[in-house]
A and B are shown apart, each in its own frame.
Chain A
Amino acid sequence: MIVAHGTWLPSKHSFFLWGETESGDAPASLGRAHPFQLEPEAVTRRLLLALTDQESRFEERVSKVSILLPSRDGRPLPSPESHHERAPLSDVSLRPWEIDGLSLEPFAALSWLALLPGSTEQLPERLRLGSDLRYWSAAARFALELLARQRFLPVLTNGGGSPEARWEPFIDEELDRVEALRAAMPPVCRAVFDGEPETPDALLSDFLCSSMDRFVREAAARLRLKPRFVETDGEQFVSSLLDNDAWFDASERVADALRDDLTRWRSQFDEEESAPFRIAFRLEPPAASEPTEADLDLASVKQGLESEAGVAADETEADTADDETDDDSTEPPNDGWELRFVLQALDDESLLVPLARVWEHGGTSWRYLERRLERPHEFVLEALGRAAALFPPIEESLKESRPEACSLSLDEAYAFLTEGAFLLKESGYGVMVPTWWGRREHGVGLSLSVSPRGQGSRGVVSRLGLDALVEFDWQVALGSESLTREEFVELAAMKQPLVRVRGQWVELSPARVEEVLSAMSSRPEIPQMTLGDVLQFKLGHLGDSRLPVTDLRATGWIEMLLSRLAGKQALVDIEPPKSFQGTLRPYQEQGLSWLVFLGDFKLGACLADDMGLGKTIQVLALLLHLQENQALDKPFLLICPTSVVGNWRKEAERFAPSLKVLVHHGLDRHEGADFVREANEHHVVVSTYSLVDRDLEQLDAVEWSALVLDEAQNIKNPQAKQTRALRKLRAPRRIALTGTPVENRLQELWSIMEFLNPGYLGPEASFRRNYALPIERYRDPTATEELRGLVQPFVLRRVKTDPTVIRDLPTKNEMKVYTTLTREQATLYQAVVQESLLKIEASDGIGRKGEVLAALTRLKQICNHPAHYLADGSSLPERSGKLSRLTEMLEEVLAEDDRALVFTQYAEMGKLIVRHLRESLSVDVSFLHGGVPSVERERMITEFQEDEQAPSIFVLSLKAGGFGLNLTQARHVFHYDRWWNPAVEDQATDRAFRIGQTRSVAVYKFICAGTIEERVDELAERKKALAESVIHSGENLLTELTTDNLRDLFELRASAVEV
């Protein structure tokens, strides 16, 4: 694991980047060099170039910096991101360590930091970003926002004694975020050992100032703005602002005067509202009875519409005035728009006072409703004077002695709406614009009406899919009015930015008109669009670059589909299938209805319920529902990870025994035509991800009624072979099951949606540009909201904490998890069975009993992990079905931000689990076993219960009953291996369970399918009904069995093994 670190060095005007490597067994060091750091050359290669894909070359310099780090016993402590075992913080002190790294100049630092990956899943393997680097990345993004939004101004600073011209951020409404960033700075950012540590404020400011200043200069360099001659002070100042050298070459007197000038200039906005009022501007359109140029022409264009009722006034006026627009007219027409000036109370913005009231009053002090305004005339005139500089048409009115309003031409009114209003508002004035302004539905665009024409009557509309074409009608809409094509073209030719349609004003912005015109010319006479397009318009963002849509209406079943997808109309309840063995919980019934609904429309569904809520059961119920309705004429293909094949088979046996399940994996799987025939004789074919690509041809030869992906996060990489292979398979129903919150993993979300509903989220590149990037990099709330709207109809996710779900769940929700053996496990297992049976046969009495127990232990160890049995310290990944499954499930626990306990009987296995989880999940894991001293045990328990930063996974290898452990923070309990003694297991489970608690604890009991574990479990279940007491003796009972019975018990059954 490498952790990338870095911080800003104000004294060197550069960003220092370095890498922390595995601490390993680095010896205690009396020297000054940090003992586990990346070589500068490796920093360039593995961090600087690997983390972003910028084309620009960096001019990095190697440099050495001393950083204070918490240290103990002559070693710096590793940072938390390196996921080493957490050390207690006693005896830790700060010590400077020399670190070699790279210096980036401010511009490069800004570009590099801003583009760092926004989520962990995008990082290269075994590389993490330290919190310091993530912090500076956020700071860089902030700088980028300030730049993009042009929040910077020139200043004259006194850098190192000589005056320097600089661009500095202008912070105003951003102050809250500056404070939030300042407060969030991790202390390590300030730890450069170079005199006194900087304050967070100073450090952040210096970074923002330096990087933004550089960025503006870089932009300026592309414009060639520099004055040709530098003679005057003004030219000198410009030149210093644009040059690489910021030095302002002028006398001290000039510099001082300029500095004061600039401060005053910049603080114009700090004008204090000492008065209880401010001036506000209200834009008033011409009265409806006054015809204006803008609606006259429209009237002549819109004869058809004018004949409708309720427009008599307009109509008569329209007939009398008939002059055409005269674009060449030099005299701006008085279009009757008015900008009215009023006083607005600061403490109550609805309190508006006409200026006439002020003018009437002659005194030096004017009172109005408890508010007092000093020298009201001067106050108003001064405010209007400043406003005139921001919106020049105001100036004309100031020629009057008592201005109350100014009249505007239509173009001036438009300028006010698009620019003046903004400038005035930013400068502290009140601004009131008509309500129709800026509202999309009041603008111009296409109004679509989609109808299910040609698709026949109700009932036969199923099986459509998002690529189904539907016909639609469109019209140009102006606000709520529709226009014919001719009317619109004529209207557009007028080139008026604002028009009035029957008393209602509408913006006709030139860009928008252009879009509509081009959409009109590119549309065929009877246009069609896909159902997917309809959904996108309706659920996402109305209108995009392809079609400027302002409104979409649907009729018939399309309307029904849309309103059900949008959650506005309830789904048809589906009765739980009669052949289902067991009871569906209410939320599971809803899940079934939802799966049936989407599938009927050939829409892909992602069932993303929390782990433990029964996704498997809901899919089995769907199968039975189809079977009972004679709709299961073709088989389901279910793809899952190898580790859960056994679980699917067992669950189907238990809940849906009427289903014929074919497990297609292992070396003896069917091939070719054989496979096609076999598949068609079963209801479900269960296969694995690893086989999809290999067996694609024969999988594709079968006609499937549905394609189900379990643990769909397996296709999170859209480019991976198996993902692409899966997208090639055809099936009318597509279902993805996942327990991870997909909405936070955007690449995974796209990939899963692309499988479910191809094309719906657009090509990957545009998805990345429109959603992934703004959300991951900038936490963009608009993009987040829009994406949620698009995806929400296709993702059903219930969490354990939903009140409705809690009501349906038992407080202790026990589940058996069946896993599969790897080939290695199976081989070992069979060898041990043979060997043990021979030994057992050859012994008797106590000796025989001992041999049986030893055999049991060995087999259980093999089921746990080959390395557990072999005790050879060999590698862990991919060798145990159980461990793989545990890891997958814990990954979901972590994704849900939950905590889990993992129990095993064996301390040795506990150690292996901990090692594996640390390495593969990159998280710290607590481990409690018999050898842990009681003080340490107390600390771990308290930490788990109370410290949010403590490891979320707690592995325990002890009979936990007698210890009084209180671990109620855990919501998941895993029994990695079985005691075969319910009392012991229950005691362990109850660590996480408190009487009277309202939330539910999920308990997972791991069982290797086809092995002794499954057999004993069955035995125990059967006996349980007869006499609980028998079970208590657990393993002892087994020692009494005959060798033949034992053979039967031990023997490995088919389909226990993976490929």
Chain B
Amino acid sequence: MTETTDEEETEPRWWSERWWSVMESIGVSRRLERGKRYARAERVLSIEVEPGRVVAEIQGSRYEPHRVEIAFEPLTKEQWADAVRALASQALFSAKLLSGEMPENIEEAFASVGLSLFPAAPSDLEMSCSCADEVVPCKHIIATHFVLADKLDGDPFLLFGWRGMTRDQILRRLRQYRAAEASGRIVDGDGNRPLEESVRDYWKMGESFDTVSFAVGPPAVNASLIKRLGVPPIWKPHPEIRGSLERLYAKVTERAMALAYSGRGSGERD
């Protein structure tokens, strides 16, 4: 991983460096003069980052602007699920993303599940332009790259959008993941005040305690989770398991209800 030095404030951030290294590999150098010129001349009328592609309109010499499209295959749902799981493994990722930063070792997280956030090979990017120029990349494409690189420098999360998810979506999924983990096993640091600092409130229930009430009752529809999700793939060869599961869920309700409303309600003392 490349490190940027703190002294050079104008120097692009790590992800910009990383992006330019991709650009170089497809022959777009940031020192390319016509690219700079084009970008600077504000010939790029619009640029939009969408899942799977970046679309830009470039004012060429003709009246009709040229349309540039840079396609980059978005991650599939399954791939995103893997990526989010990898990101959820460290609270640091959530923290950085929340504060608007692109976590530096995010590529490692993606790599750990066999994915890449950035283009791994030049061929990952498919570029086209409506101009008649035979050369690829044409100057319009190059201009688009320059503007895109600039945009990415300011908002690295556009890269997420390009790959199919916005930063907010990722954050929300991370939160959901944490919610699932709240019922599961992953630990998260917050609320973990050292006991030494809690001596004064050592026996005190938090105020939120009184807000919690319970609705111990049967579900509206039996085994609705199984009905919604279907059975896990591993049980596909065993169609009888679905019925067993439905009976099991019903039994759990029956037993939980029996326990929940058993015993003394109001105090007869013995």
- The smallest beta-carbon distance between A791 and chain B, in angstroms, is 15
Q: Roughly how many angstroms separate A209 CA and B258 CA in the complex, as a whole number?
A: 20
| Cβ contacts under 8 Å, B189 to chain A | 199
- The smallest beta-carbon distance between B176 and chain A, in angstroms, is 5
How many A residues have CB within 8 A of the partner chain?
A: 129
Chain A residue with minimal CB distance to B237?
A234
- The smallest beta-carbon distance between A811 and chain B, in angstroms, is 32
- The smallest beta-carbon distance between A415 and chain B, in angstroms, is 11
Q: Is B95 an interface residue (CB 8 A)?
A: no
Instruction: List the one stretch of A139-147, A330-338, A568-576 in contact with chain B.
Output: A139-147
Q: Is A411 an interface residue (CB 8 A)?
A: no
Q: Roughly how many angstroms separate A188 CA and B212 CA in the complex, as a whole number?
A: 20
Please report which residues of chain A, range 354-405, place their CB below 8 angstroms from some CB of chain B when the two chains form the complex.
374, 389-390
Q: Roughly how many angstroms separate A798 CA and B228 CA in the complex, as a whole number?
A: 51
Q: Do A115 and B229 form a contact, CB below 8 Å, given A130-B203, A184-B206, A778-B213? A: no
Shortest 5 CB-CB contacts between residues of A and residues of B = A122-B267, A773-B265, A184-B206, A768-B265, A184-B209
Please report which residues of chain A, range 712-734, place their CB below 8 angstroms from some CB of chain B when the two chains form the complex.
719
12 contacts between A and B (CB under 8 A): A52-B264, A80-B203, A145-B216, A147-B255, A148-B260, A199-B188, A199-B191, A235-B238, A270-B173, A274-B165, A746-B265, A746-B266
Q: Do A200 and B179 form a contact, CB below 8 Å, given A184-B209, A234-B234, A264-B78? A: no
| Cβ contacts under 8 Å, B190 to chain A | 201
Please report which residues of chain B, range 178-231, place their CB below 8 angstroms from some CB of chain A when the two chains form the complex.
179-185, 187-193, 195-196, 198-209, 211-225, 227-230
Q: Are A220 and B234 in contact (CB under 8 A)?
A: no
Q: Contact flags (1/0) for A756-774 with B, using CB distance below 8 Å? A: 0000000000011100111
Q: Is A178 an interface residue (CB 8 A)?
A: yes
Chain A residue with minimal CB distance to B238?
A234
Q: Are A374 and B51 in contact (CB under 8 A)?
A: yes
Instruction: List the one stretch of B11-19, B23-31, B245-253 in contact with chain A.
Output: B245-253
Q: Is B131 an interface residue (CB 8 A)?
A: no
Chain B residue with minimal CB distance to A782?
B215
- The smallest beta-carbon distance between A332 and chain B, in angstroms, is 22
- The smallest beta-carbon distance between B178 and chain A, in angstroms, is 9
- The smallest beta-carbon distance between B265 and chain A, in angstroms, is 3
Q: Roughly how many angstroms separate A976 CA and B62 CA in the complex, as a whole number?
A: 101
A178, A237, A390: the one contacting B234 at CB < 8 Å is A237
| Cβ contacts under 8 Å, A200 to chain B | 191-192
Q: Is A676 an interface residue (CB 8 A)?
A: no
Please report which residues of chain A, range 172-227, place their CB below 8 angstroms from some CB of chain B when the two chains form the complex.
172, 175, 177-188, 190-191, 197, 199-202, 204-206, 208-209, 215-216, 218-220, 222-223, 225, 227
Q: Roughly how many angstroms separate A52 CA and B232 CA in the complex, as a whole number?
A: 39
| A-B contacts besides A148-B218, A719-B268, 5 pairs, CB < 8 Å | A149-B217, A219-B248, A219-B255, A767-B266, A778-B215
Q: Are A422 and B215 in contact (CB under 8 A)?
A: no
Q: Are A272 and B256 in contact (CB under 8 A)?
A: no
| Cβ contacts under 8 Å, A151 to chain B | 225
Q: Is B257 an interface residue (CB 8 A)?
A: yes
Chain B residue with minimal CB distance to A175?
B179
Q: Are B214 and A141 in contact (CB under 8 A)?
A: yes
Interface residues of A (CB under 8 A from B): 52-54, 68-70, 79-81, 89, 92-94, 111, 114-115, 117, 119, 121-125, 130-132, 134-135, 138, 141-142, 144-145, 147-155, 157, 168-172, 175, 177-188, 190-191, 197, 199-202, 204-206, 208-209, 215-216, 218-220, 222-223, 225, 227, 232-235, 237-238, 258, 260-272, 274, 374, 389-390, 418-419, 422-423, 426-427, 719, 746-747, 750, 767-769, 772-774, 776-781, 949
Q: Roughly how many angstroms separate A182 CA and B205 CA in the complex, as a whole number?
A: 10
Q: Do A779 and B81 form a contact, CB below 8 Å, given A150-B252, A188-B202? A: no
A181, A264, A422: the one contacting B224 at CB < 8 Å is A422
Q: Roughly how many angstroms separate A772 CA and B266 CA in the complex, as a whole number?
A: 6
Q: Roughly how many angstroms separate A261 CA and B231 CA in the complex, as a whole number?
A: 11
Q: Roughly how many angstroms separate A87 CA and B250 CA in the complex, as a whole number?
A: 52
* Secondary structure of the A contact surface, majority rule: helix
How many B residues have CB within 8 A of the partner chain?
A: 93
Q: Roughly how many angstroms separate A998 CA and B151 CA in the complex, as a whole number?
A: 62
Most buried by A among B81, B188, B196: B81
Q: Are A114 and B228 in contact (CB under 8 A)?
A: no
Q: Roughly how many angstroms separate A147 CA and B251 CA in the complex, as a whole number?
A: 10
| Cβ contacts under 8 Å, A183 to chain B | 191, 206, 208
Q: Is B21 an interface residue (CB 8 A)?
A: no
Q: Roughly how many angstroms separate A64 CA and B269 CA in the complex, as a whole number?
A: 31
Q: Roughly how many angstroms separate A132 CA and B192 CA in the complex, as a whole number?
A: 17
Q: Are A148 and B253 in contact (CB under 8 A)?
A: yes
Please report which residues of chain B, range 26-51, place their CB below 8 angstroms from some CB of chain A when the two chains form the complex.
50-51
Q: Do A747 and B267 form a contact, CB below 8 Å, given A150-B223, A170-B225? A: yes
- The smallest beta-carbon distance between A664 and chain B, in angstroms, is 30
- The smallest beta-carbon distance between B263 and chain A, in angstroms, is 5
Q: Are B247 and A223 in contact (CB under 8 A)?
A: yes
Q: Are A272 and B165 in contact (CB under 8 A)?
A: yes
- The smallest beta-carbon distance between A976 and chain B, in angstroms, is 32
Q: Is B169 an interface residue (CB 8 A)?
A: yes
Q: Roughly how many angstroms separate A152 CA and B248 CA in the complex, as a whole number?
A: 11
Q: Are A199 and B187 in contact (CB under 8 A)?
A: yes
Q: Do A157 and B185 form a contact, CB below 8 Å, given A138-B212, A778-B215? A: yes
Q: Roughly how many angstroms separate A232 CA and B234 CA in the complex, as a whole number?
A: 9
B51, B180, B199: the one contacting A274 at CB < 8 Å is B51
- The smallest beta-carbon distance between A248 and chain B, in angstroms, is 11
| Cβ contacts under 8 Å, B51 to chain A | 274, 374
| Cβ contacts under 8 Å, B238 to chain A | 227, 232, 234-235, 238
- The smallest beta-carbon distance between A745 and chain B, in angstroms, is 9
Chain A residue with minimal CB distance to B251?
A219
Q: Are B248 and A225 in contact (CB under 8 A)?
A: yes
- The smallest beta-carbon distance between A207 and chain B, in angstroms, is 11
Q: Are B203 and A132 in contact (CB under 8 A)?
A: yes
Chain B residue with minimal CB distance to A206?
B185
Q: Roughly how many angstroms separate A823 CA and B82 CA in the complex, as a whole number?
A: 82
- The smallest beta-carbon distance between A184 and chain B, in angstroms, is 3
Q: Is B5 an interface residue (CB 8 A)?
A: no
Q: Is B261 an interface residue (CB 8 A)?
A: yes
Chain A residue with minimal CB distance to B204?
A186
Q: Do A769 and B261 form a contact, CB below 8 Å, given A234-B235, A266-B229? A: yes
Chain B residue with minimal CB distance to A745?
B266
Q: Do A238 and B235 form a contact, CB below 8 Å, given A92-B199, A111-B259, A206-B185? A: yes
Q: Roughly how many angstroms separate A747 CA and B269 CA in the complex, as a whole number?
A: 12
| Cβ contacts under 8 Å, B215 to chain A | 145, 149, 778, 780
Q: Roughly how many angstroms separate A597 CA and B173 CA in the complex, as a whole number?
A: 61
Chain B residue with minimal CB distance to A235?
B238
Q: Are A268 and B229 in contact (CB under 8 A)?
A: yes
Q: Do A773 and B261 form a contact, CB below 8 Å, given A199-B188, A205-B184? A: yes
Q: Roughly how many angstroms separate A68 CA and B203 CA in the complex, as a whole number?
A: 12
- The smallest beta-carbon distance between B185 and chain A, in angstroms, is 6
| Cβ contacts under 8 Å, A767 to chain B | 266
Q: Roughly how many angstroms separate A219 CA and B258 CA in the complex, as a whole number?
A: 12
B81, B165, B256: the one contacting A144 at CB < 8 Å is B256
- The smallest beta-carbon distance between A459 and chain B, in angstroms, is 41
- The smallest beta-carbon distance between B54 and chain A, in angstroms, is 14
Q: Are A54 and B260 in contact (CB under 8 A)?
A: no
- The smallest beta-carbon distance between B168 and chain A, in angstroms, is 9
| Cβ contacts under 8 Å, B248 to chain A | 216, 219-220, 223, 225
Q: Roughly how many angstroms separate A570 CA and B247 CA in the complex, as a whole number?
A: 55
Q: Is B67 an interface residue (CB 8 A)?
A: no
Q: Roughly how many angstroms separate A949 CA and B206 CA in the complex, as a whole number?
A: 13
| Cβ contacts under 8 Å, B224 to chain A | 150, 422-423, 426
B180, B201, B232, B251: the one contacting A220 at CB < 8 Å is B251
Q: Are A131 and B204 in contact (CB under 8 A)?
A: yes
